[in-house]
């Protein structure tokens, strides 16, 4: 018999580790090829790792909640040596000691393998990112009492430490200074009372990540939102006329969202200073235009799949990719790399009949654009004899941007560009 070392697979650029969220098998269990073995999670996506071989599980190297790195052994499967799967792993003979580690790593051992504080507290990738952005050192993290599982430091712990300790980063040099607040400002965190009829339900993992990500974004970026209305009557008529033909040709519904993505991509090419990220006191100009699309899930959570190189896609390509990503987002089969690498995000809140909203920037991007519902309303229309009033299809756009790097003139100009492109949509274009 031969042991097969199951490795944590590569999951996309920039992803170096993942959390073991749930083992679907146990030691001694016989498994078949392609049988799901374990559920893992990165910052955004939950995935399953299937078995590349048939055999018997002889060791689960990591416990649930622990964080292996890409390429590390997470399980051993005893097999007859026949290997036809496509997973990442290594066949080893039964007489060689498979790994030098104990069967189950302790939390102290685990902290040796990931970013850690001075007293060896484990820190997740998301917390590590926030700590670096806020200029916290390993010594700072050593002062923080972790409230997560096994005393792991959470983003809430980071935020509370920054607020209570009044620590703010000073550029990239890691120096901190005391932030003086007016004496009348009081920071109070009171206990929330619970009534007998109240139901208390713990957030699921994705909701915790969303909450942490939103808090982190508000702490990092200086949020400003601008609003603008656009008359998209010609676009509405064009879509209504061509939607059946489009479906027959592309096997995808012609919704407004692909048009919005196409329009945003063109305006980002016109205004490259919107397609940026901030790193300390440096601005990163993104050469690729990767548009994330906020997608609501059936359980009420939110995920943002990314259409890479959106400016290189035609309307049909955008529709097909959007349909595929949205479908797999809702059935939980997105790959980790499909929610990474976004440079700008859009959210279509109009599908819920909302006029507008003030979305939160999806870090590390610098802007996010919300499209409200399309409503018919009286509108001033220029005619040959002057201005008149007609009923038109109007949409409200709201752009939230990071005022650290995007001023009102730039943000307003970009928003105006998107609106004008929608208003001047080429209704003669062919499907």
- The CATH class that applies to domain 223-423 reads alpha beta
Is residue 70 a contact partner of residue 20, using CB atoms and an 8 Å limit? no
Domain residue spans of the chain: 2-105, 107-178+203-220, 223-423
Which residue stretches of the chain have pLDDT < 70?
Answer: 1, 12-14, 43-44, 81-126, 128-130, 132-134, 149-150, 155, 163-191
pLDDT in tens, 185-226: 444 455 678 888 999 898 888 888 888 889 999 999 999 999
Round to whole Å and give the CA distance between 139 and 123.
Answer: 13
User: Of 378, 374, 384, nearest to 423 (Cα)?
Assistant: 374
The confidence score (pLDDT) of residue 81 equals 58
The confidence score (pLDDT) of residue 319 equals 94
Cis peptide preceding 364, ω within 30 of 0: yes
Predicted TM-score (pTM) of this structure = 0.67
* Alpha helices (runs of H) in 228-314, residue ranges in sequence order: 233-250, 256-270
The confidence score (pLDDT) of residue 34 equals 85
Round to whole Å and give the CA distance between 63 and 116.
Answer: 19
The confidence score (pLDDT) of residue 159 equals 72
Round to whole Å and give the CA distance between 231 and 377.
Answer: 10
User: Of 365, 273, 262, nearest to 307 (Cα)?
Assistant: 262
The confidence score (pLDDT) of residue 126 equals 60
242 is catalytic: no
Round to whole Å and give the CA distance between 203 and 205.
Answer: 7
Residue 345, both tokens: 């995000």
**For a pLDDT cut of 70, what percent of the chain falls above it?**
78
407 is catalytic: yes
Determine the topology of domain 2-105 in CATH: OB fold (Dihydrolipoamide Acetyltransferase, E2P) (2.40.50)
pLDDT in tens, 31-66: 998 898 998 887 667 788 888 889 999 999 999 888
Is residue 295 a contact partner of residue 210, using CB atoms and an 8 Å limit? no
Residue 79, both tokens: 């097999």
**For a pLDDT cut of 90, what percent of the chain falls above it?**
48
Round to whole Å and give the CA distance between 246 and 117.
Answer: 56
Is residue 276 a contact partner of residue 285, using CB atoms and an 8 Å limit? yes
Round to whole Å and give the CA distance between 163 and 218.
Answer: 13
pLDDT in tens, 365-408: 999 999 999 999 999 998 888 999 999 999 999 999 999 999 99
Q: Bridge partners of 234?
A: none
The number of C-alpha atoms within 13 Å of 205 and in the hemisphere containing its C-beta is 15
């Amino acid at each position: 018999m031969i042991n097969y070392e199951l490795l944590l697979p590569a999951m996309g650029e920039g992803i170096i580790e993942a959390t073991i969220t749930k083992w679907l098998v146990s030691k001694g269990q016989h498994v078949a090829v392609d049988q799901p073995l374990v559920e893992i999670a990165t910052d955004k996506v939950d995935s399953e790792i299937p078995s590349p071989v048939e055999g018997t599980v002889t060791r689960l190297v990591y416990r649930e909640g622990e964080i292996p790195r890409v390429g590390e052994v997470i399980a051993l499967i005893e097999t007859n040596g026949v290997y036809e799967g496509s997973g990442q792993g290594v066949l080893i003979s039964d007489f060689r000691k498979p790994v030098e580690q104990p069967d189950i790593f302790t939390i102290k051992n685990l902290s040796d393998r990931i970013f850690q504080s001075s007293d060896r507290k484990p820190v997740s990738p998301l917390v590590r990112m926030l700590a670096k952005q806020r200029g916290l050192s390993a010594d700072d993290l050593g002062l923080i009492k972790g409230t997560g599982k096994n005393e792991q430091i959470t983003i809430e712990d980071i935020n509370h430490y920054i607020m209570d300790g009044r620590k703010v980063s000073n550029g990239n040099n890691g120096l901190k200074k005391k932030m003086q607040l007016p004496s009348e400002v009081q920071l109070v965190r009171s206990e929330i009372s619970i009534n007998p009829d109240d139901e208390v339900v713990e957030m699921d993992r994705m909701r915790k990540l969303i909450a942490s990500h939103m808090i982190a974004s508000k702490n990092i970026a200086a949020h400003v939102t601008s609003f603008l209305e656009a008359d998209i009557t010609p676009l509405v008529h064009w879509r209504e006329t061509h939607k059946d033909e489009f479906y027959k040709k592309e096997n995808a519904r012609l919704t407004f969202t692909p048009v919005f993505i196409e329009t945003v991509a063109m305006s980002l090419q016109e205004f490259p200073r919107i397609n940026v990220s901030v790193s300390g006191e440096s601005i990163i100009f993104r050469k690729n235009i990767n548009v994330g699309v906020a997608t609501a899930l059936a359980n009420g959570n939110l995920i943002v799949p990314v259409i890479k190189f959106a400016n290189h896609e035609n309307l049909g390509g955008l529709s097909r990719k959007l349909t595929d990503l949205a479908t797999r987002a809702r059935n939980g089969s997105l790959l980790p790399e499909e929610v990474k690498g976004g440079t700008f995000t859009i959210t279509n809140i109009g599908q819920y009949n909302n006029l507008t909203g003030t979305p939160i920037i999806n870090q590390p991007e610098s802007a996010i654009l919300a499209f409200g519902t399309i409503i018919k309303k009286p509108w001033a229309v220029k005619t040959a004899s002057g201005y008149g009033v007609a009923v038109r299809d109007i949409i409200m756009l709201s752009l939230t941007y990071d005022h650290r790097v995007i001023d009102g003139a730039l943000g307003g100009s970009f928003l105006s560009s998107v609106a004008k492109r929608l208003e001047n949509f080429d209704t003669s274009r062919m499907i």
